[in-house]
Amino acid sequence: MSSQMSISAKAAEDLFARFNEIRRESSTPAASSAQGLDGSLGSLGSGGSIGSSGSGTAGKMSFFEQLQARVAEVNEHAKTADKMATSVATGKSENLHEAMLAASTAELTFNLMVQVRNRALEAYQEVMRMPV
């Protein structure tokens, strides 16, 4: 369980580091910097990576791919917890402690995802409030 949580925590740390980097880049008064930021944020929906200038190595995943992977991970934890709870409720399994552990893991990963989303929205709103 702790290795799964450390992966999610690492992804959150990477996300916050990238937002701080964008924030520093956008604090310059140059209009070209602001246009580059808008282009990077606009490419999120199409699967583009944030800050693709010079940081695109073959082994790195884009922000969008990282986000998709983490949401899929949270979804898998929820599915696993649901299956385990169903098997305990129907009597197919007697491992109540494992079902509760899976439910707790699913809840923690979901709460982490919500907090990352909240921080991302706060960072985006702060960037949008910055004068250009």
Instruction: Give the model confidence (pLDDT) of 32-88 as tens digits.
Output: 333 333 333 333 344 434 444 444 444 688 888 988 999 999 999 999 999 999 999
Spatial contact of 15 and 113, defined as CB atoms under 8 Å apart: no
Predicted TM-score of the model (pTM): 0.53
Q: How far apart are CA 110 and CA 116, in angstroms?
A: 10
Determine phi and psi for 55, rounding to 5 degrees. -105, 10
Cα 60 to the center of its chain, rounded Å: 15
Note the pLDDT of residue 98.
92
| The pLDDT of residue 28 is above 80 | no
Rounded mean pLDDT, 5-22: 61
Question: Is residue 102 packed enough to be buried (19+ CB in 10 Å), middle (13-18) or exposed (0-12)?
Answer: buried
Of 15-19, 60-64, 97-101, which one has max mean pLDDT?
A: 97-101
The domain locations on the chain are 2-129
Question: For 59, left (φ over 0), alpha (ψ -120 to 50), or beta?
Answer: alpha
3-state secondary structure of 54: coil
First CA to last CA across the chain, in angstroms?
44
